[in-house]
Structure 1
């Protein structure tokens, strides 16, 4: 397939080999595994989830494509053992020697890890495009630039937990892996020409290394409730916390997206009715004053919401949540001038130089170094500002070797320059 430039875009309507039958039995999985193992070259992989519909972030369809094997559409749900996720470790082992090609791998790897389907080598086409400094990195836009083709995205936000899956959805899913291997080659040619292939290799290895690691639980996840900025008193924050936790328990038990059980805006609207003096006890009248609590689904759990409000009313002051959690890591750099003038001076000396260097390399600055890693280094640098010490400090923040090679001399120069 040749690169297109001025030719009109062609909509990719259907896979070249047609839409395969969905694999949903052990025999089908064995046949698919044999076909993929006998194939050649990299394996394109994608997943479809049901975010916005389901509580879990599990994969409800896994697409795989390899030269010589064609496209495999694998339904993980029939392979579940009760509530336990499917285990595709045998498939992963059979494909261990192959390079897996994903687009935006960090979105798919968690649900692949859940079913024990993880690569030993991968190639992330979105990340490759970022390293090339391409302004648009969505799969569809990359296919447009590379091949003059475009994909329809009308089913990207569909409820993939639905069964049976409609034929047009399966067609859409198969197209997402139709050209991943070809796109990988197109991008890799450009990475090689730009001298960035080794950078990409280190980034991909880093993704593989972290793919199976469990994410630490988020502290106070209820604080991500939309509209929380307008909730100001500790008692009102407690209302948000109790309602959020009640909703989360319900959503988890039903495997339903929390927003489908009760929207965020209902939680914060009810919390806002808490009296600033914290004397008022919220009750049925307050619940009735927020329209969303009268909707069919929330109204079904009216007793649960009222019980949550009763728990809030019974809380002593010392058990109410604080307005803000203590900062984890350095505070925002905009506050450094008052809180740590020396750190502010380091930030002003180094950050513009890093941004300039990223521009010279045609990289998004966050791909040259993560904002958090740079903040931590400049807030509390090593006692001795040597190249070795700075390199070790950045390595401790998981900054990759290629990034450190580019940045350490620059950072040391800026931090040790005579301010006069």
Structure 2
């Protein structure tokens, strides 16, 4: 058997511990599948003395993790520290400058610096792999890069954040409101103490930008991704959606389109959607992730599974290591960086569809007339409208579903209502994903 593939591991948290346990538990199987053993030689973390439940003294230790890529006893660096910049990015750059391969689970770094890092990896003729950066243990990146490589992908979309999905599906099952369920998710470890990246859609947006790059052959570009989270979703919204035959899910969606001048443009958005109960994403519950890809020959594919956790994420990391041990370098984003398309962001105004709009309004005469007049003047056709009364002097919830129409019309209706004294807060808009 060939010489071992020697690994340096930066970060010994949940995922780092999972990688160590997986490599140790399945060492013989991994060696047979990789064609040579995969061994950890060096590790680095913030605190050497921390009790992690496994022994690290058998590995060499580096206090400065950026040095890992320069060590002569390392072939591949595994970065599991996180963060778009700082030590993680410095480590990645040093690793490629030293001619070493990099495996990372860092979706923020890839979303913000993926083109730069892929350029460095290609110049050094080494691998940059990041299967674990999107959807944990689900092999969706490998599926897009390899399984459907012959297809033109029409769109890719899905549930990309397990924390949000846990909160929404728990609200659905229990009728409890967002703040209560978020606190429970934090107590159970499904949500961070500061859950901003998850519940505001930023984590899902990072992942979506990576998926769209691979699916469409475009340069990864996080900045134009429009992200709206789930903070404002009420238990009443979920009940109303259920009555209409829908579930609410945070969906990241990307697709390309051609504008009037014949230029390809890229649409990327993370947004809570009403998902029809017959759609495969409607019944994805708990902290599960799911991604749908639609190819012109393969049709609709669904990738579903655990989107986080030590075991699933470690599985994705080690799968990348096995590929490298086999000699698989490949272009990080499926095609060489020089051939990636720098598609401009799409104009969403002309996109058509149905939407759910919820208003919290003052309980007084003329409120509905003002809302419906704004819809009429903007050209929005209302399919259904429900008003639910509240307690004395409390705001009233008015929710509606529109007929299919351009998103620009809804934006115009909300502009006409902006600043109206009848609105207790800005309206909530959720687009509708059909069957």
TM-score, L = length of structure 2: 0.25
Higher fraction of strand: 2
Report which of the two structures shows the higher radius of gyration computed on alpha carbons: 1
Structure possessing the higher relative contact order (Cα contacts under 8 Å, 6 or more residues apart): 2
